[in-house]
Amino acid sequence: MEKRGGTPSPSPRSTEKSGKDLTRSGDANGGASAGGNATPKGDKEKGVNVQVILRCRPLSEDETKGNTPVVISCNERRREVAATQVIANKQIDRTFAFDKVFGPSSKQKDLFEQSISPIVHEVLEGYNCTIFAYGQTGTGKTYTMEGGGTRKAKSGELPTDAGVIPRSVRQIFDILEAQCAEYSMKVTFLELYNEEITDLLAPDEPRFPVLPVPEDKNKKPIALMEDGKGGVFVRGLEEEVVYSAGEIYKILDKGSAKRRTAETLLNKQSSRSHSIFSITIHIKELTHESEEMIKIGKLNLVDLAGSENISRSGARDGRAREAGEINKSLLTLGRVINALVEHSGHVPYRDSKLTRLLRDSLGGKTKTCIIATISPSVYCLEETLSTLDYAHRAKNIRNKPEVNQKMMKSAVIKDLYSEIDRLKQEVFAAREKNGIYIPRERYLQEEAEKKAMTEKIEKLGVDLEARDKQLVELKELYDAQMLLSAELGEKLEKTQKDLEDTRHALHDLEEKYSEAKSTIKEKEFVISNLQNSEKSLVDCAYNLRAELENAAADVSGLFSKIERKDKIEDGNRSLVQRFRSQLTQELDALHKTVSTSVMQQEDHLKEMEDDMQSFVSSKDEAAQGLKESIQNLKALHGSGITALDNLAGEIDMNSQTTFEKLNSQVQSHTSDLEKCFGVIALGADNLLNELQCSLSKQEERLAHFANKQREGHLRAVEASRSISNITVGFFHSLDVHASKLTSILEETQGVQDQQLIDLEKKFEECAANEEKQLIEKVAEMLAISNARKKKLSKRL
Ligand X SMILES: Nc1ncnc2c1ncn2[C@@H]1O[C@H](COP(=O)(O)OP(=O)(O)OP(=O)(O)O)[C@@H](O)[C@H]1O
Quote the distance between the C-alpha of residue 769 and its chain's center.
35
Can residue 142 be called a binding residue for ligand X (CB under 6 A)?
yes
Q: Which of 96, 98, 127, 143 binds ligand X (CB under 6 A)?
A: 143
Q: Which of 11, 18, 139, 256 binds ligand X (CB under 6 A)?
A: 139
φ, ψ of residue 37 in degrees (nearest 5): -65, 150
Tell me: is residue 519 an annotated ligand-binding position. no
Q: Which stretch binds ligand X (CB under 6 A): 124-132, 199-207, 248-256, 264-272?
A: 264-272
Q: Which residues contact 191 (CB under 8 A, 6 or more apart)?
A: 197, 198, 199, 200, 219, 255, 258, 259, 260, 273, 274, 275
Residues 417 and 422: their CA atoms lie apart, in Å, by 8
Shortest reach from residue 269's CB to ligand X, in Å? 6
Q: Per-residue x/- mask for ligand X, residues 41 to 80, rule CB under 6 A?
A: ----------------xx-x--------------------
Tell me: is residue 148 an annotated ligand-binding position. no
The smaller minimum CB distance to ligand X, of residues 61 and 215, is found at: 61
Q: Which of 271, 273, 386, 404 binds ligand X (CB under 6 A)?
A: 271
Contact present, 668 and 661 (Cβ < 8 Å): no
The smaller minimum CB distance to ligand X, of residues 183 and 193, is found at: 193
Stretch 570-599 residues interacting with ligand X (CB under 6 A): none
Q: Which of 138, 236, 297, 401 binds ligand X (CB under 6 A)?
A: 138
Q: Which helix (H) or strand (E) holds 371?
A: strand 367-374
Can residue 141 be called a binding residue for ligand X (CB under 6 A)?
yes
Residues 407 and 282: their CA atoms lie apart, in Å, by 10
Tell me: is residue 135 an annotated ligand-binding position. yes
Residues 785 and 777: their CA atoms lie apart, in Å, by 12
The smaller minimum CB distance to ligand X, of residues 126 and 306, is found at: 306
Q: Which stretch binds ligand X (CB under 6 A): 30-38, 266-274, 580-588, 634-642?
A: 266-274
Shortest reach from residue 144's CB to ligand X, in Å? 7
The smaller minimum CB distance to ligand X, of residues 137 and 256, is found at: 137
Residues 86 and 499: their CA atoms lie apart, in Å, by 15
Residues 192 and 633: their CA atoms lie apart, in Å, by 208
Please name which of 58, 56, 107, 111 lies closest in space to residue 80, comparing C-alpha atoms.
Answer: 56
Tell me: is residue 667 an annotated ligand-binding position. no
The smaller minimum CB distance to ligand X, of residues 137 and 168, is found at: 137
The helix/strand/coil state of 185 is: strand
Stretch 147-176 residues interacting with ligand X (CB under 6 A): 148
Long-range contacts, 687-690 (Cβ 8 Å, 24+): 688/623, 688/626
Q: What is the DSSP string of 84-123?
A: EEEETTEEEEEEEE-SEEE-TT--HHHHIIIIIHHHHHHH
Shortest reach from residue 107's CB to ligand X, in Å? 9
Can residue 306 be called a binding residue for ligand X (CB under 6 A)?
yes
Tell me: is residue 139 an annotated ligand-binding position. yes
The helix/strand/coil state of 53 is: strand
Shortest reach from residue 117's CB to ligand X, in Å? 18
Helix boundaries (H) for 360-438: 381-394, 409-432
Q: Which helix (H) or strand (E) holds 398?
A: strand 398-399
Q: Which of 18, 270, 278, 670 binds ligand X (CB under 6 A)?
A: 270
Shortest reach from residue 254's CB to ligand X, in Å? 18
Tell me: is residue 729 an annotated ligand-binding position. no
The footprint of ligand X on this chain (CB under 6 A) covers a number of residues equal to: 19
The smaller minimum CB distance to ligand X, of residues 134 and 233, is found at: 134
> What letter would DSSP give residue 737?
H
CB-closest chain residue to ligand X: 140
Please name which of 220, 199, 194 lies closest in space to residue 318, comparing C-alpha atoms.
Answer: 194
Can residue 137 be called a binding residue for ligand X (CB under 6 A)?
yes
Shortest reach from residue 263's CB to ligand X, in Å? 9
Can residue 267 be called a binding residue for ligand X (CB under 6 A)?
yes
Cβ neighbour number for residue 328 with a 10 Å cutoff: 15
Angle (CA) 117-119-120 rounded to 5° is: 65
Binding site for ligand X (CB under 6 A): 57-58, 60, 135, 137-143, 148, 267, 269-271, 305-306, 373
List residues forming the annotated binding site for ATP: 135-142
